[in-house]
Amino acid sequence: TFVQGNYQGQDDVNYDLFGAPTNRQDAYGLANFSAGIKDEDGKYEVSLFVNNAFDKLYYSRVDDTSS
């Protein structure tokens, strides 16, 4: 059996070339976990995964469409 976890953090970022405050993503972190079993030979493995365990909302892109 095995249990694994990882945490990755992202610093705050501004997606606008000129630094518009409406295009800013605050810093965030994501926690991921997995657990499973494998046979003694390592030939077979069954795993369960939970990605973004705490359901953190984040953006990969922000556009300001106001005029």
Tell me: the pLDDT tens digits for 1-56?
899 999 999 999 999 888 888 889 999 999 999 999 999 998 999 999 999 999 99
How many Å apart are CA 20 and CA 66, to the nearest integer?
12
Whole-model pTM: value is: 0.73
CA-nearest of 43, 11, 15 to 27 is: 11
SS3 content of the chain, % helix, strand, coil (to 5): 5, 45, 50
Q: What is the pLDDT of residue 66?
A: 73
The helix/strand count (H/E) of the chain reads as 0, 5
